[in-house]
Amino acid sequence: MSLSSSTAGDIFTVRAGAEALATLRREGFSADSFSTLLGASGGPKWLVLAWIDRVLARRLVGERTTPLHALGTSIGAFRHAALAQADAPSAIERFAQAYVAQAYHRQPTPAEVTEESRRILDVLFGADGVAQALAHATLRLHVGTARSRGLAAAHRPGALAAGLALAAAANAVSRRLLRIGFERVVFHTTRQPVFSFDDLPTRHAMLGAGNFVQATLASGSIPLVMEAIRDVAGGPPGLYRDGGITDYHFAMDFDAPPGLVFYPHFCDRIVPGWFDKALTWRRPRGGLLDRTVFVAPSQRFIATLPGGKIPDRSDFKTLSTADRQQRWNEVLAKARRLGEALEELLEGTRLADVALPFAK
């Protein structure tokens, strides 16, 4: 199926910063123009991106000669791990099917959700997926986690809930005050860190065979929903939780390698941190937006999905297992259209033709 630029533009919301737009107009899409790939937290929302990831595996990762640094938190880190497999499209398919297949017979305990997440990673990686990711010719993985501090490092649910409430209240005053409950720890496959942050306390650690699964699992360990991961090898000791706490969709205020940033997302709102979801005034304002190309399904496309929305964690509560799995598989089928539309937009200067500025 072939789509016109205008039709593809209707399916997507495309935004570009000034530097990114100028590059796209001058050079069109070129994989080597991009140095960075971002992957946000969002749980089941990622399913709408499954066919986009297949396209990126070929066009952004497969057609390049220079390193691409993939920074992801939570499900974004899972997605990047799939992209780093030798046969990325097959890995993405395995990941999607394993994710849809989640099933819980009652209100699951954090231990049960953690074990199910381990199962999903086992399916994704298979026997040698970790080795493939570490040996990838051009993709360099950077996995964001949040290490608990103070009351947020509590084990008991009641104390942990109090610690989270305190962190949320501090964050509402200033994002920088989130440090009372969490610090960022980024695990990377590069010899040295390539991303630099100054908003919150940040540490860096090497990502290797001995901690790859542990760090990736920690990146998606939602507080009160999953167990914290204790003492990730190579990192500072402590309890590690979902990287989206500090970098839900990223504040876009950190330093990244020279080059453009490709940011495929599932909605047109960028929420900096997990506690910012209700803070509608908290928007990304960092200079990295200037060189970012952002693509997300349009509201018009989302309205065509079952229930008129992208999947989210509420589906586990509002739908039976069979109905949820059917709906999520329908989303995967419909999301193929997004992959086809992105193929069209990556030709020539079409991204520039439909790109809008970032909202002020």
pTM for this model (two decimals): 0.96
At residue 92, the pLDDT reads 98
Structure tokens of 59? 């066009």
- Interatomic CA distance for residues 189 and 194, integer angstroms: 10
Distance between CA atoms of residues 341 and 1, nearest Å: 9
Q: Supply the pLDDT for residue 6.
A: 52
pLDDT for position 106: 84
Q: Between vectors from CA 244 to CA 238 and to CA 248, what angle results, nearest 5°?
A: 155
128 and 87 in contact (C-beta within 8 Å)? no
- Alpha carbon 14 to its chain centroid, in Å, reads 17
Pick from 248, 335, 259: which is nearest to 297 by CA? 335
Q: How far apart are CA 232 and CA 115, in angstroms?
A: 17
| Closest by Cα among 126, 145, 131 to 84 | 131
30: exposed, middle or buried (Cβ count in 10 Å: 0-12, 13-18, 19+): middle
Report which residue type is found at 179: R
pLDDT of residue 126: 93
Longest dimension (CA), the chain: 56
Give which of 42, 105, 26, 52 is closest to 78, Cα–Cα: 42
DSSP states along 308-321: GS---TTHHHHS-H
Strands 68-73 and 34-39 turn out to be parallel
CA proximity to 241, closest of 273, 217, 263? 217
By residue count, the chain amounts to: 360
Q: What residue has token string 């939602």? A: 222
Q: How far apart are CA 177 and CA 173, in angstroms?
A: 7
Q: Tokens 């979801």 identify what position?
A: 277
Measured between alpha carbons, how far is 242 from 222 in angstroms, rounded to an integer? 5
Tens digit of pLDDT at every position of the chain (360 positions)? 445 555 777 899 999 999 999 999 999 999 999 999 999 999 999 999 999 999 999 999 999 999 999 999 999 999 999 999 999 999 999 999 999 999 998 889 999 999 999 999 999 999 999 999 999 999 999 999 999 999 999 989 999 999 999 999 999 999 999 999 999 999 999 999 999 999 999 999 999 999 999 999 999 999 999 999 999 999 999 999 999 999 999 999 999 999 999 999 999 999 999 999 999 999 998 899 999 999 999 999 999 999 999 999 999 999 999 999 999 999 999 999 999 999 999 999 999 999 999 987
For tokens 């402590």, the residue is 238
pLDDT of residue 1: 42
Supply 11's token pair: 């399916």
Return the closest-CA partner of residue 274 out of 207, 221, 324.
221
pLDDT at 150: 95
Q: Are strands 12-16 and 229-230 parallel, antiparallel or unpaired?
A: unpaired
